[in-house]
Amino acid sequence: MQLYNKYDKKTLLKKIEQEPFKRITISFYQYADIEDPATWRDELYKNFLELGVLGRVYVAKEGINAQINCPEPNFEAFKAFLYSYSFLEGIRLNIAVEQNNKSFVKLAIKVRDKIVADGINDPDFKIDQKGKYLSAEEFNKMTDDPDTVVIDMRNHYEYEVGHFENAIEVPSDAFRDQLPMAVDMMKDKKDKNIVMYCTGGIRCEKASAFMLYNGFPNVYHVEGGIIHYTNTTKEQGIPNKFIGKNFVFDERLGERITEDIIAKCHQCGEPCDDHTNCINQACHLLFIQCKTCTEKFEGCCSEECMEFIHLPFEEQKELRKGTDFGSNIFKKGRWPKNEGEKKFKIKK
């Protein structure tokens, strides 16, 4: 059996559009000791493929991190397969707040050094010595306490479109950098309740363990992250303290949690929280773009990219070999410091 995808995106999308069933978008993770990630990766791929599961999965010696969609008719069989592994039995499956059959169009399972790159090399650090879980109700109650500090352990472009009330951003787009930054930012607040959160729980769980490791006594993290929190508030009819949109790492690029739009279009500054990727495949920059600017710039992030996509294909292909991406004005989603700066230059 072939253990990798061999079809292009267009073919895969057409296949999904012809499917007579709905797909359920799910995310899950588990820290565990995996002796042979490569062999397990192939085992997962074979079984996921048979079940029609699509998505992005990372496996490593420290566990599994998965964002997938599953055919609705196969959901129970998928759960049964996961739960057949003792360390995955009863694992929490985060059902997406907003569903979309095209959240993922292919299956990719990769072996990584870690399921969350953290830059931690100290053998004394233990992921199982983590902060206490907070349910949605417990989170709401604790965050009413003025002695509580809420820390967002996601990237800037995630925080920009939505976050919990009064949450502190750790200003970096790399988790490995955020960990020591969070410790430094909180060094004078060791007597506070430190509550950490992320999208589905995997980053804030590791971050909570890192804070405990660095001597913070009162560390908590939101069980199941923003996704599980939001679903729980809906089910229980309790207030939701998240504002805006939850960024997700699939074709949807976001789930609407509240109607508040707290971000701005990176090109005109109008209220907008719709992420997109620059249509210029030589760029593909992730940024926020309103509908007006989408039309004006033809889905591109700059005039340079718009000019580039109108060149003959062979010329584009040749020019891409000499493209300098060192001056991206949005810095992966950040508001440009110099709006006149060119996004990239073509070396001729």
Using one digit for the tens of pLDDT, what is the confidence trace for 113-157?
999 999 999 999 999 999 999 999 999 999 999 999 999 999 999
CB-CB contact of 287 with 266 (8 Å) = yes
pLDDT value of residue 281: 86
* Alpha-carbon span 329 to 343, nearest angstrom: 5
Query: The pTM is what?
Result: 0.88
pLDDT value of residue 268: 96
Percent of the chain with pLDDT over 90: 83
pLDDT value at 342 more than 50: no
Q: Is the same domain home to 230 and 294?
A: no
Q: At what angle do helices 75-83 and 37-51 cross, to 10 degrees?
A: 160
231 domain-assigned: yes
Using one digit for the tens of pLDDT, what is the confidence trace for 159-173?
999 999 999 999 988
Q: In whole numbers, what is the pLDDT of the chain averaged over residues?
A: 91
Q: Alpha-carbon dihedral of residues 175, 30, 96, 246, nearest 10 degrees?
A: -20
Kind plus residue range of the DSSP H or E element containing 94: strand 94-95
138 domain-assigned: yes
Confidence at 325, pLDDT banded by 50, 70, 90: very low
Token code pair at residue 332: 């992966």
Q: How many domains does the chain have?
A: 3
165 domain-assigned: yes
3-state percent helix, strand, coil for the chain, nearest multiple of 5: 30, 20, 50
Marked catalytic residue, from 198, 290, 300, 301:
198
What amino acid is encoded at 104 in this protein? F
310 domain-assigned: yes
Token code pair at residue 27: 């995310």
251 domain-assigned: no
Average pLDDT over residues 9-26: 93
Is position 198 annotated as part of the catalytic site?
yes
Q: The domain that contains 197 carries what CATH number?
A: 3.40.250.10
Using one digit for the tens of pLDDT, what is the confidence trace for 242-284?
999 999 999 999 999 999 999 999 999 999 999 999 999 888 8
Q: Is the same domain home to 204 and 144?
A: yes
Q: Is the same domain home to 169 and 89?
A: no
336 domain-assigned: yes
CB atoms within 10 A of CB 196: 28
Q: Is the same domain home to 103 and 152?
A: no
183 domain-assigned: yes
Q: The domain that contains 76 carries what CATH number?
A: 3.30.70.100
* Alpha-carbon span 131 to 122, nearest angstrom: 19
Rg (C-alpha) for the chain, rounded Å, is 21
**Which domain range does residue 297 map to?**
275-346
Q: Is the same domain home to 16 and 90?
A: yes
289 domain-assigned: yes
Using one digit for the tens of pLDDT, what is the confidence trace for 276-307?
999 998 888 999 999 999 999 999 999 999 99
Q: Is the same domain home to 66 and 21?
A: yes
